[in-house]
Amino acid sequence: MKIKYDRSACQGHNRCYMLAPELFDTDDEGYAILLVEGDVPAELEEKARLAADNCPEFAIEIED
Partner 1 sequence: MTDVRPPVADWATDFDHQHPDYAANATEIWDELRDGCPIAHTDRYGGAWFPTRHEDIAAISKDVVHFSSQGVVVTEERPDIPAPMGYAPPITSDPPFHAIARGIMLKFFSPKAIDAWEPIVRETCRRRIADIRAMIDAGETTIDIAAHYSQHIPVSVMADMLDLPREDGDVFRGFIHDIMEQAGEEKPYEESMDFYLDTHVAARRNSLGDDLMSFLCQADIEGMPLLDEHVRGTIGLLIIAGIDTTWSAIGAGLWHMAQSPADRARWTDDPDVQPFALEEVLRFYAPVTMARLIAEDIELSGCTMKAGDWALLPFPSANRDPEAFDQAGEFVIDRARNRHAAFGLGIHRCVGSNLARLELRVAMEEWMAAFPEFELADPDAVTWSTGQVRGPRQLPVRFPS
> Which residues lie near ligand SF4 (CB under 6 A)?
10-16, 32, 55, 57, 59-60
**Closer residue to ligand SF4 (CB): 10 or 48:** 10
Query: Buried b / exposed e across 31-64, counting CB within 10 Å, b at 16+?
Result: bbebebeeebeeebbebbbbbbeebeeebbeeee
Q: 21 is in the binding site of which of partner 1, ligand SF4, none (Cβ under 5 to 8 A by kind)?
A: none
Chain residues 25-64 in contact with partner 1, contact rule CB under 8 A: 26-30, 50, 53-58
Question: Is the separation of the CB atoms in 41 and 25 below 8 Å?
Answer: no
Three-state DSSP class for residue 26: strand
The footprint of partner 1 (CB under 8 A) covers 11-15, 17-19, 26-30, 50, 53-58
